[in-house]
Amino acid sequence: MQKAQFGMIGLGTMGRNLVLNMADHGIAVCGYDRNTDQQKRLLEEGKDKPVQTAATMQAFVESLETPRRIMMLVPAGKIVDAVIDEIKPFLQAGDILIDGGNSHFTDTDARIARLQDTGIHFTGMGVSGGEDGARLGPSMMPGGNKDGYAELKNILEKIAAQTDEGPCVTFVGNGSAGHYTKMVHNGIEYAIMQLISEVYAILKNVGGCDNDQLHQVFTNWNDGALQSFLVEITAKVFLQPDDVDATKRLVDVILDRAAQKGTGMWTSESALELHIPTPAIDEAVAARDLSAYKKEREIIDGFTPTTVITAIDKEQLIQVLHDALYFGMAVSYIQGLHLLQTASDTYKYEINMAEVARIWKGGCIIRSVMLNDIRKAYVNNATLKNLLLNKTFYALLEEKRNALVTALKTGMDNKIGMPVLSSSLNYFDMFSTGRSGSNLIQAQRDFFGAHTYERIDKEGNFHTNWN
């Protein structure tokens, strides 16, 4: 049988769909999975396509042309290391091994170091787009080294999502840059999802919008400045009937307890380590944690009388929430990209921020029309540390600040929690305040702990005997 150009280990939903995507583009692929049912399913779905499977790991490796290009799509953690241990004896210098799962970036660094003396190129690659993205064109964020990427470039560019500015894949940067970038992508995703849920709660509980109206609101929003994958699918969610009772909409019978897999938390942890403020992401993670306390929330809800809903013009409310959501989404990108730029500087990733914005424009979960303005800002200033320093981008948010304030007042008057919307305003206001109240904190620290302080009129560190 003809040698395959690419190998895939792990033929679950993502792995199988990526294989079929490659096959559609004429790329010969060999798949391997210990679960033979997964192999059979691939062969069935890949009938009449250049797809094959292998019975053993050794046979799998031997089925590939050299240099071998192999992707692992297996659960992050110990399983990745187990697969590396199993396949390593059959590989040789120049082969490329890709981890396409959501591995923590520090694990990727460790694996690169572990394989460095073997000459095997280890690529940590973030893949975004879910099942449909894998099948029809994902956004991919490979990191590692340029030599390894050179052997993957042609294949990855063929299967990636395509936009007016090219395929949604690029060499993101050195070492674990790919997995770090995907982690930040997921942190931004957490924040935007929470923002949408907060806006939904106000539209439903204050605006009195039913599911058909909510569908129309989000559909209209998706035709303008809020055009994005998450707004698009939100509009569709409201029309989905319940499988159990077709007279109901599915969204109304889904338990309000949000799960998470940890990538949002990883983003917050890294931001804290690098001293980069990402409160929108932090609050989104905390909101999911808080949602888990369903029983306790119901008990406490019974302590208080029914909330009186403040009357408000529905059309005005919809416009206010449109601008508030725009503001919050922009702040989510700002915080995530500030973190990514700082991580690039700290860990020597050498990430091109304009390229990251470009490859996020298609295929991925956080794709949106807003990324056009974000990319433009980085093209005009490749060393931009924070998007708020771009006057055009800052002006877009300043223009919508009053709408966010109105949205927050409306939510607070009606006892609706808005952790990410409110933190977005606080972030914007604090970041655009030249003289804050933090001087008092420095005075307090020096008072009780002799930690010293700096002055505005001379250089150096100073201490006062406050007593």
Q: pLDDT truncated to tens, each residue of the chain (467 aa)? A: 689 999 999 999 999 999 999 999 999 999 999 999 999 999 999 999 999 999 999 999 999 999 999 999 999 999 999 999 999 999 999 999 999 999 999 999 999 999 999 999 999 999 999 999 999 999 999 999 999 999 999 999 999 999 999 999 999 999 999 999 999 999 999 999 999 999 999 999 999 999 999 999 999 999 999 999 999 999 999 999 999 998 999 999 999 988 888 889 999 999 999 999 999 999 999 999 999 999 999 999 888 776 666 667 899 999 999 999 999 999 999 999 999 999 999 999 999 999 999 999 999 999 999 999 999 999 999 999 999 999 999 999 999 999 999 999 999 999 999 999 999 999 999 999 999 999 999 999 999 999 999 999 999 999 999 98
What whole-number distance in Å separates Cα of residue 119 and Cα of residue 100?
20
Q: Establish whether domains 182-431 and 437-467 are of one fold.
A: no
Fold topology of 6-175: Rossmann fold (3.40.50)
261 is catalytic: no
Task: Return the ∠ at Cα 196 (arms to 193 and 201), rounded to 5°.
Answer: 125
207 contacts 318 by C-beta, under 8 angstroms: yes
Cα separation of the two ends of the chain: 86
What whole-number distance in Å separates Cα of residue 282 and Cα of residue 180?
17
Sequence spans of domains, the chain: 6-175, 182-431, 437-467
454 is catalytic: no
Look at residue 310 in the predicted model and tell me its pLDDT.
Answer: 64
393 contacts 373 by C-beta, under 8 angstroms: yes
What secondary structure does DSSP assign to 248-315, as a single string?
A: SBHHHHS-S-----SHHHHHHHHHHHHT---HHHHHHHHHHHHHT-HHHHHHHHTTSPPPPPPP--HH
Which secondary structure element, helix H or strand E, spans residue 142, and what is its range? Answer: strand 139-144
Q: Which CATH architecture has domain 182-431?
A: Orthogonal Bundle (1.10)
| Identified catalytic residue from 49, 189, 198, 400 | 189
| Identified catalytic residue from 40, 45, 131, 182 | 182
Domain 437-467: give its CATH code: 1.20.5.320
